[in-house]
Amino acid sequence: MASFKQLKLFVDKELDQCLQNVVRPFTEHVYFPETLIDPLEIEKHHHEVQLQNLSISDTLACATCQTQFADRSEQTLHFKSDWHRFNLKRKLRNQLPLSSEKFEDMEKDISSISGSDSSDDDLSDNEGSSIDGSYNACARNNPKIILTLNDGRHLSFYRCLLHGKRNIPQESQELILTAQRLPLCIHWGIVMAAGGHFAIALFERDKIIQHKTFHKYIIRAKQGSAQTAHDQKSGGKAKSAGANLRRQNMLHLKQKIQELFISLKSEIQRCSLLFVRAPSFNQQLLFGEKNSPLTASDSRIRSIPFATLRPTFNEIKRVYDQLSKMELYPQDYQFQKIEQEKTSTIKTKQPTATRKTAVDSSTDSEDKSDDETEQQSSSKQTVKKQPIIPISTTDRKILPVEDLTTFNELFTACRLNDIQRFDDLISRLRALKTINKSPSIADILNYQTAGSFDTLLHITSERGHLKLIQRLLNEGANPALSNQRGKYPYNLSKNKEAKEVFRLFRNDYPDKYDYNLGQVAPSITMDELERQHAIERERRRQTKKRRTDKQRSDQERQLREQEEEQQRIHFLALSEKEKRTLAVQVNFETNKRDELHLGRCWQCAKKISDEPFTYFDYKFCSTACLKAHRTKSKTTV
């Protein structure tokens, strides 16, 4: 197979000629809208499938695709299939679901939901048609676009050079015209911000005309997140010196970026394309505020479609070099075959049990690459994560069809906490196993579901169904079996009561299972458990009593303060003569002769608890009140 040729924009003149000879997009990277559905049919369909009773389904079925399954593993595989995901997307658009036959017919023209293999004839018939949400899906899954030249060759480059997320072309002809005008966009700008590092560079063709990088300490050590992000998440603000320093540095960083954009305003306005990488909280440095350097509605702004490292000058040059490179493929290049070979190679290298985890983590690698880099640089010590123990599919026991049906019924009963149904199923199993002892009841109870490898004991422990946990342990459910994540039923216990069931059972049957392997806590007797409960109840009672006493004392204190405030206001409203009369009356009413009732301050009306400050017959609580009263008396005279 002939290899491709790599060209660079603004450097190779052959590339400019190739862009002018673009005639149409390549068929495997263009999507056209589906046929519209009559809204009346949608409304009719909604009336036919109205939900009568909202409850947890106890049957193995899919309401979206309207199909039923024989066992749990078949249902799990269906939920991961392209057919189910496709019908979910149609349901969100208020469209009718497709049957499996129609979906298989559609797959003949579309290789998968994330990519298209339509023929050249279909493209020529639909050339110039509008590009809608299906084109958006293609743009998300294919960062590069392939255009076909008039001589049959193909040109591939990054899709972000043609349009951003907010200005997607409505017609394929508009896409071609944008590609032909690409050599005229000679001014580019690249802005990167992550973890307190900031870098910007402005390009004219392949030359750098302006660049600037700087760094501020805003990342929390051993945490990997910015101080402002931590404050927003926790709802409070740490008062340490380091936290205050990081907040101050964040403000300085924002101010410095704004001043830099003001100084480069004329150069930035000339840029035809602005490539920005600012993951998560770093976007507040560039967007969203009153005096923000950039606006999200700017059609020139494009996101960088590949993973990047820490924002530095060298990294910006690498990003520009990668964005400006284009590949020229010969006419007979088999794109579909190459993609299939890459996919098969990845699948052979990836274990079956851990494939789902790898796929889930890879989808977020692009958005989190900068934050992960900052975490590694800000902390020399990394926290070791608990490794996931992969379980080979050969270790799972396969049940006959009859026993698998019984297991599915037991699974539903455990999930719904239906104790009566569980007991009936166990009784039926005992009657059947008197005739056919293979497999045993314990083998059925310890059967691990496909995909997650959860047993019935995992399901009941995670939901906190205490009676079912006790019944399963009595019937032979092994707590030493782990699931796909390496978790044992005891680890998944929802509450403390569920863990106590395991510990009590370990005390009653110490040799029945390998409790240490299942990470079950040491055994405990019922008397010891009752003693712990009694201590806990007494502790809660004392806590409640202290809380009640505190509330009562607070209420009494508030009443005394309110009464005192009312008396103080009343005393202030009295005249000087009335105050003297009241003071004499209170002194005569005092029962203890050695105790002189000092009364209230003549200025602020507070009770005097110590030897008062006096002049003439006036008494005051402080020299400030005495001075204020004397000044007031002079002004009134």
Label residue 395 by pLDDT band (50, 70, 90).
low
pLDDT tens string 466-490: 999 999 999 889 999 998 888 999 9
pLDDT tens string 553-604: 999 999 988 988 888 888 888 887 787 777 667 665 555 444 444 577 888 8
DSSP, residue by residue, 89-102: HHHHTT-PPPPHHH
| 325 beta partners | 8
Number of C-beta neighbours around residue 164 at 10 A: 19
- CA 525 to CA 217: how far, in whole Å? 55
Q: Where are the beta strands (DSSP E) in 5-107?
A: 5-8, 22-25, 61-62, 67-68
- Looking at residue 233, its pLDDT comes to 66
Strands 144-149 and 67-68: unpaired
- Identify the residue with better confidence: 174 or 524: 524
Label residue 2 by pLDDT band (50, 70, 90).
low
What mean pLDDT value characterizes the chain?
A: 76
**Domains parsed from the chain with CATH numbers:** 63-97 (no CATH), 184-328 (3.30.420), 401-524 (1.25.40.20), 536-634 (no CATH)
- Looking at residue 140, its pLDDT comes to 54
Q: What is residue 594's DSSP assignment?
A: T
Label residue 337 by pLDDT band (50, 70, 90).
low
pLDDT tens string 177-187: 888 888 888 89
- CA 538 to CA 442: how far, in whole Å? 42
Pair 457, 469: CB distance under 8 Å: yes
Number of C-beta neighbours around residue 88 at 10 A: 13
Q: Which residues contact 514 (CB under 8 A, 6 or more apart)?
A: 480
- Residues 224-230 have a mean pLDDT of 67
pLDDT at 189 over 90: yes
Strands 273-277 and 187-194: parallel
Known catalytic membership, residue 227: yes
Whether pTM > 0.85 for this model: the answer is: no
Pair 199, 212: CB distance under 8 Å: yes
| 326 beta partners | 7
- Looking at residue 90, its pLDDT comes to 86
- Looking at residue 600, its pLDDT comes to 79
Instruction: Please report, for residues 354, 361, 377, 491, 559, the alpha-carbon distance to residue 452 in angstroms, rounded to integers and kept in the order given.
Output: 11, 17, 35, 15, 62
**From the CA atom positions of the chain, what is the Rg in Å?**
38
Number of C-beta neighbours around residue 299 at 10 A: 11
Nearest to 405 by CA among 71, 67, 69: 71
- Looking at residue 371, its pLDDT comes to 44
Which entry of 75, 227, 484, 603 is annotated as an active-site residue?
227
- Residues 25-30 have a mean pLDDT of 58
Count of alpha carbons within 13 Å of 249, Cβ hemisphere only?
20
pLDDT at 452 over 70: yes
Label residue 201 by pLDDT band (50, 70, 90).
very high
- Residues 438-456 have a mean pLDDT of 85
- CA 266 to CA 122: how far, in whole Å? 47
With 0-12 / 13-18 / 19 or more C-beta atoms within 10 angstroms meaning exposed / middle / buried, residue 59 is: exposed
Q: Which residues contact 284 (CB under 8 A, 6 or more apart)?
A: 228
- CA 114 to CA 134: how far, in whole Å? 9
pLDDT at 620 over 70: yes
pLDDT at 624 over 70: yes
With 0-12 / 13-18 / 19 or more C-beta atoms within 10 angstroms meaning exposed / middle / buried, residue 278 is: buried
- Looking at residue 361, its pLDDT comes to 39
Phi, psi of 154 (to 5 degrees): -125, 140
With 0-12 / 13-18 / 19 or more C-beta atoms within 10 angstroms meaning exposed / middle / buried, residue 154 is: buried
pLDDT at 61 over 60: yes
pLDDT at 353 over 90: no
Pair 557, 520: CB distance under 8 Å: no
Cis peptide upstream of residue 311 (ω within 30 degrees of 0): no
Share of the chain above pLDDT 90, in %: 18
User: Which range has highest mean pLDDT (227-231, 275-279, 365-369, 611-615)?
Assistant: 275-279
Torsion of CA 593, 598, 599, 600, to 10 degrees: 180
Strands 613-615 and 618-620: antiparallel
pLDDT tens string 121-172: 333 333 333 344 445 545 555 788 888 888 888 888 888 888 887 777 777 7
Label residue 611 by pLDDT band (50, 70, 90).
confident
| 213 beta partners | 199
Torsion of CA 361, 364, 370, 373, to 10 degrees: -10
User: Which range has highest mean pLDDT (137-141, 198-202, 236-240, 305-309)?
Assistant: 198-202
- Looking at residue 211, its pLDDT comes to 92
Provide the residue type at 84 as one letter. Answer: H
Phi, psi of 309 (to 5 degrees): -100, -165
With 0-12 / 13-18 / 19 or more C-beta atoms within 10 angstroms meaning exposed / middle / buried, residue 110 is: middle
List helix spans (H) across 396-525: 401-416, 419-433, 441-445, 456-463, 466-475, 496-508
311 Rama class: left (phi>0) / alpha (psi -120 to 50) / beta:
beta
Phi, psi of 635 (to 5 degrees): -70, -35
- CA 454 to CA 391: how far, in whole Å? 11
- Looking at residue 150, its pLDDT comes to 86
